[in-house]
Amino acid sequence: MNKPASILCAVILLVGATIAEAQQPGKIFRIGFLDPTNASGMAVMVDAFRQELNKLGWIEGKNIAFEYRFAENKSERVPELAAELVRLKVDLIVTSGNPPALEAKKATTTIPIVMTSITDPVALGLVDSLARPGGNVTGLYTFASELNTKRLEILKDAVPKLARVGLLRGSFYNPGQELQLEELRVAASALKVKLEEIKTEFDPQGLESAFKTAKQKQVGAIMTTSLRVFFAERKPIVALAGKYRLPAIYNSKEYVDEGGLMTYGVDNDDQYRKAAHYVDKILKGTKPADLPVQQATKFEFVINLKAAKQIDLTIPPDVLARADKVIR
């Protein structure tokens, strides 16, 4: 066999071996799931993700296994959990929120990473561009900063004579949150609303303290930054908003499911189902660098009139008319 023919033969054998490995019967791919919150708070999203994978033919225990790592609202634990998943040599890492994506990227340049709930992946340095991510990271972009501005506008329209808004924010440094805060401060100034930023700890005492501070500052309504830690604590947050009789707007329908007043944001179930499709493609051989980052396209504005009645708030008719869903 001449030299060019032997080289071609070697290449064909190598490609064949790679494909065979990717499609190897009985192989169980291990998926790392890295989240800054807790298992109970993320159960709804994890279920949507797993169910979609099942539909795509990925069955837990048969051809896929999960390594869940939850930081339990302790941001300092995220780097060590990311490093742990890398040491385990998982086949892919799914991240939820900004810090997990950033720490996973720091921990590995080879293991594919599918990110969800990201503020701005280009500004955060996670990808080169949305169309051509480059590297080992791709996933979904949720417009967190832009949607916060829209929520503030809705809140002002919904609450008569609103002049002061309490903004619950995480007490720790989060680059995605900083991007959100920059946009919110500009929006508040344009809307002529005073933004009272309240640093919040994510334990029962810390949440209660944040709401007491909001009342002391005489805010007329509250909102939160779009962090996974707030989402995981949505049930007590909604309860405290009712207790302190503060109108609130949240970033996902799951808050309204817990009795919250209003929500405007992306459909989280849809986001995690789409994440499952990224996982499917990557496990079948597609490189993350070749999968464009998807921007959220499905948004929901929901109003809960039962919650409004409990705090004696009358939502203006023009605001009700804009809602995708009104719970009566």
Distance (Å, rounded) from C-alpha 303 to C-alpha 256? 8
Same domain, 42 and 66: yes
The total number of structural domains in the chain stands at: 2
* pLDDT given for residue 50 in this prediction: 97
* pLDDT given for residue 305 in this prediction: 98
Same domain, 278 and 229: no
Same domain, 118 and 159: no
* pLDDT given for residue 25 in this prediction: 59
* pLDDT given for residue 119 in this prediction: 85
Distance (Å, rounded) from C-alpha 39 to C-alpha 73? 11
Same domain, 238 and 304: yes
Same domain, 158 and 192: yes
* pLDDT given for residue 39 in this prediction: 95
Same domain, 65 and 136: yes
* pLDDT given for residue 298 in this prediction: 82
Between the CA of residue 32 and those of 48, 50, 57, 68, 221, what are the distances in Å? 16, 13, 18, 6, 38
For residue 153, give every residue at least 6 positions away whose Cβ sits within 8 Å of its Cβ, in sequence order, or none: 187, 191
Containing domain of residue 57, as a range? 3-141+268-297
Same domain, 136 and 174: no
Take residue 294 and report the two structure tokens written for it: 């998807």
* pLDDT given for residue 2 in this prediction: 52
Same domain, 69 and 151: no
Same domain, 135 and 272: yes
Cβ(228)–Cβ(265) under 8 Å? no
Same domain, 102 and 179: no
For residue 167, give every residue at least 6 positions away whose Cβ sits within 8 Å of its Cβ, in sequence order, or none: 184, 195, 196, 197, 198, 222, 223, 224, 225
Distance (Å, rounded) from C-alpha 69 to C-alpha 72? 9
Same domain, 304 and 291: no
Distance (Å, rounded) from C-alpha 44 to C-alpha 50? 10
Q: What is the pLDDT along the chain (328 residues), one digit of tens a residue?
A: 454 444 444 444 444 444 444 445 579 999 999 999 999 999 999 999 999 999 999 999 999 999 999 999 898 999 999 999 999 999 999 999 999 999 999 999 999 999 998 988 999 999 999 999 999 999 999 887 789 999 999 999 999 899 999 999 999 888 889 989 999 999 999 999 999 999 999 999 999 999 999 999 999 999 999 988 999 999 999 999 999 999 999 999 999 999 999 999 998 889 999 999 999 999 999 999 999 999 988 889 999 999 999 999 999 999 999 999 999 9
Distance (Å, rounded) from C-alpha 246 to C-alpha 307? 10
Beta bridge partners, 141, equal 118, 295
Same domain, 86 and 234: no
| CATH code: domain of residue 259 | 3.40.50.2300
pTM here?
Answer: 0.84
For residue 226, give every residue at least 6 positions away whose Cβ sits within 8 Å of its Cβ, in sequence order, or none: 117, 119, 142, 144, 147, 148, 180, 251, 265
